[in-house]
Amino acid sequence: MTTTLRPAGPEERRDDGGRARTYEVCVNSRPVGRITLATDALLGLSAGRIADLHIDERDRHRGRGTVAALAAEEVLRGWGCRRISVDVPADGEPALRLAAALGYTEHSRRMLKELTSPPGLPAGSTVRPLGAEEYPAWLTAAVSTYVEAQVANGMPRERAADKAARDHAALLPDGPASPYQSLRVLTHEGTDVGTVWTTTYHPARPGGYVMDIRVVPEHRGRGHGRSLMLIAERETLEAGRTVLGLNVYVDNPRARGLYETLGYRPTEYSLHKLLL
Per the structure, the complete domain to which residue 32 belongs is given by: 3-81
Confirm whether 204 is domain-assigned.
yes
**Exposed (0-12), middle (13-18) or buried (19+): which is 10, by Cβ within 10 Å?**
exposed
Q: What is the pTM of this model?
A: 0.91
Name the band, by pLDDT with cuts 50, 70 and 90, for residue 1.
Answer: low
191 and 134 housed in the same domain: yes
% of the chain residues with pLDDT over 90: 88
CA distance 163 to 13: 21
Confirm whether 156 is domain-assigned.
yes
Average pLDDT, integer, range 21-33: 95
Per-residue pLDDT tens digits for 140-181:
999 999 999 888 888 889 989 999 999 999 999 999 999 999
Confirm whether 269 is domain-assigned.
no
CATH number at residue 190: 3.40.630.30
30 and 140 housed in the same domain: no
Q: Is the confidence at residue 93, as pLDDT, over 90?
A: yes
Average pLDDT, integer, range 67-72: 96
Confirm whether 213 is domain-assigned.
yes
How many domains is the chain partitioned into structurally?
2
139 and 40 housed in the same domain: no
